[in-house]
Amino acid sequence: MSTEPGPQSVKGPRINKGLTIVNTGNGKGKTTAAMGVLFRAWGRDMKVQMLQFIKHTTANFGEQRAAQKIGVPVRAMGDGFTWRSKDLDQSADLARALWEDAKEIIASSDNDLVILDEFTYPLHYGWIEVQEVIETLGKRPEMLHIIITGRHAPQELIDFADLVTEMNVIKHPYSEGIKAQPGIEF
Ligand code: ATP
Ligand code: MG
In a domain, residue 149? The reply is yes
The pairing of beta strand 20-24 with beta strand 145-149: parallel
Query: Residue 63 above 70 pLDDT?
Result: yes
**Torsion angle of the four alpha carbons 124, 126, 131, 136, in this order, in degrees rounded to the nearest 10:** -90
In a domain, residue 66? The reply is yes
Could you give the number of structural domains in the chain?
1
In a domain, residue 176? The reply is no
In a domain, residue 2? The reply is no
pLDDT given at position 9: 67
Mutate which of 21, 23, 24, 28 to test ligand 1's pocket (most atoms within 8 Å of Cβ)? 28
Closest to 99 in 3D by CA, of 87, 89, 107: 107
In a domain, residue 32? The reply is yes
Flag whether the pTM goes above 0.85: yes
Which of 86 and 89 is assigned the larger pLDDT? 89
For 126-179, write each residue's pLDDT tens digit. Answer: 999 999 999 999 999 999 999 999 999 999 999 999 999 999 999 999 999 999
For 8-35, write each residue's pLDDT tens digit. Answer: 667 777 899 999 999 999 999 999 999 9
User: Residue 81 belongs to a domain with what CATH number?
Assistant: 3.40.50.300
Q: What is the Cα–Cα distance from 94 to 100, expressed in whole angstroms?
A: 10
Handedness of CA 9, 14, 140, 49 (dihedral sign): positive
In a domain, residue 24? The reply is yes
Exactly one of 53, 61, 81, 119 is catalytic; name it: 81
The pairing of beta strand 145-149 with beta strand 74-78: unpaired
Residue 180's contacts (CB-CB under 8 Å, 6 or more residues apart) are: 174, 186
Exactly one of 20, 23, 53, 118 is catalytic; name it: 118
Domain that holds residue 33: 14-168
In a domain, residue 9? The reply is no
Q: Where are the alpha helices (DSSP H) in the chain?
A: 30-43, 62-70, 88-107, 120-124, 130-138, 155-160
CA of 27 to the centre of ligand 2 (A): 10
For 36-51, write each residue's pLDDT tens digit. Answer: 999 999 999 999 999 9
Active site residue 55: no
CA-35 nearest atom, ligand 1? 4
